[in-house]
Amino acid sequence: MQKKDLAEQIEERAAQTTTKADQEFYPTGCTLFDLALGGGLGKGTISNIVGDNSTGKTLLACEVIAKNIAIDKKIGHTFDNAESGFTLNTEVVWNFKANLLPQRSTLVEEFQYNVEKVLKSLKEGENHIYVLDSLDGISDEAEKKKHTEKMTRIKKQLETEKDIKGKGDYGAAKAKGMSEFFRLLNSKINLTKMHLMIISQVRENIGVMFGPKFIRSGGKALDFYAGQVAMLAVVEKVESQVKIDKILYKRTTGILIKAFIKKNKLGMPFRTVFIFIDFEYGVDNLKSNIFFLYDLLTPEGKMRKDTGISLEWGSEVFNSVDGLISHIESNNQEDLLRKKVIKRWNEIEENLKPDRKKKY
């Protein structure tokens, strides 16, 4: 086995630090996601939200910001639109205006500068959420230089009609840059109440025989320094229908995603929850909670093929999820539902603990 270098040893030791007993969290706007994460997104920590295209990563990040602004209007946030593809109308959907960085990060070095700038501006105990969307939208100076040289060489070869030969990509340089970034700033972030959320795209690991089938950019640095890593995947698309002039129209209006907590230093790892997302509404917390509480999904996240639905709520019985949602919203019983979900989750976790004699 190849001996690990000093940098890798330092990173491993950093990843093994214990969770603070007084750890504070930022709620995500989704009860189930909070429970799976151990309470929400940790203050003074780094998270990594990973998923393929159209898995609601950006939307989920906006939900987190909106939820915390609803709790505390003074909370600060920074949205680093590295991919330059942000199109969500946050004022219409969530009633807040996204604070997009004027100078978005395009290089690892710029990302480090932007994060350090926010850290230096924070007052003691000040809450702040920084979102990088996404890590795949940035490179580093060395990679940029090599890419320019490669394009110049290709142009020259095309002009002289010679064969084009390349040396592959330069992901290693970016990974090294990210590793250095986390070593320098991780301890600084830990001393604040800022949460750094890094969004990553997954891509298929072509030709892999052993190891993960899907990978994301940035190297192993995120594996070491991210306290929470959530993998998102679309289970199915959600369709709605409307009848106009006796004609029935159907549209895809949302998605059901599976959130798998791959790593969690602030709670139990390997927890899976299913979250409904509506494109015009955001995270549908009520619907997600109801499907969990009444066990309406299979372990794979598919709708159970039971004949009819009977949802008991107090002294009433509802035969549809929409009917129960309407009743809960009309009677302001969202918090009651949330408490029922938390109680059920904790009952499951408690009963899963080993009933064994203490060893020591």
Convert the pLDDT of each residue in 296-308 to its tens digit: 999 999 988 766 7
Is position 143 within any domain?
Answer: yes
Q: What is the pLDDT of residue 35?
A: 98
Q: What is the pLDDT of residue 182?
A: 86
Query: SS3 string of the chain?
Result: CCCCCHHHHHHHHHHCCCCCCCCCEECCCCHHHHHHHCCCEECCCEEEEEECCCCCHHHHHHHHHHHHHHHCCCCEEEEECCCCCCCCCHHHHCCCCCCECCCCCCEHHHHHHHHHHHHHHCCCCCEEEEEEECHHHCECHHHHHHHHHHHHHHHHHHHCCCCCCCCCCCHHHHHHHHHHHHHHHHHHHHCCEEEEEEEEECEECCCCCCCCCEECCCCCHHHHHCCEEEEEEEEEEEEEEEEECCEEEEEEEEEEEEEEEEEECCCCCCCEEEEEEECCCEECHHHHHHHHHCCCECCCCCECCCCCCCEEECCEEECCHHHHHHHHHHCCCHHHHHHHHHHHHHHHHHHHCCCCCCCC
Q: What is the pLDDT of residue 213?
A: 60
Provide the token pair at 185. 């700033």
Q: Which residue has the higher pLDDT, 105 or 140?
A: 105
Domain that holds residue 287: 6-307
Q: What is the pLDDT of residue 206?
A: 47
Average pLDDT for the chain? 86
Is position 214 within any domain?
Answer: yes
Q: What is the pLDDT of residue 269?
A: 94
Does the pLDDT value for residue 140 go beyond 60? no
Q: What is the CATH number of the domain that holds 181?
A: 3.40.50.300
Is position 318 within any domain?
Answer: no
Is position 352 within any domain?
Answer: no
* Residue % of the chain over a pLDDT of 70: 79
Where residue 19 falls among pLDDT bands split at 50, 70, 90?
low
Does the pLDDT value for residue 174 go beyond 80? no
Does the pLDDT value for residue 154 go beyond 80? no
Q: What is the pLDDT of residue 307?
A: 62
CA distances from 358 to 267, 268, 350, 354 (A): 21, 20, 16, 10
In this prediction, residues 29-51 reach a mean pLDDT of 97
* Residue % of the chain over a pLDDT of 90: 68
Q: What is the pLDDT of residue 180?
A: 80
Is position 222 within any domain?
Answer: yes
Predicted TM-score of the model (pTM): 0.85
Q: Work out how many domains the chain is built from and give that number.
A: 1
In this prediction, residues 231-249 reach a mean pLDDT of 95
Does the pLDDT value for residue 23 go beyond 90? yes
* Structure confidence by residue, pLDDT tens digits, 177-216: 778 888 888 989 999 999 999 999 886 554 545 556 666 7
* Structure confidence by residue, pLDDT tens digits, 334-352: 999 999 999 999 999 999 9
Where residue 137 falls among pLDDT bands split at 50, 70, 90?
confident
Is position 233 within any domain?
Answer: yes
* Structure confidence by residue, pLDDT tens digits, 264-285: 999 999 999 999 999 999 999 9
Q: What is the pLDDT of residue 348?
A: 97
- Give the dihedral of Cα atoms 254, 260, 265, 266; nearest 10 deg: 50
Is position 331 within any domain?
Answer: no
Is position 359 within any domain?
Answer: no
Q: What is the pLDDT of residue 3?
A: 53
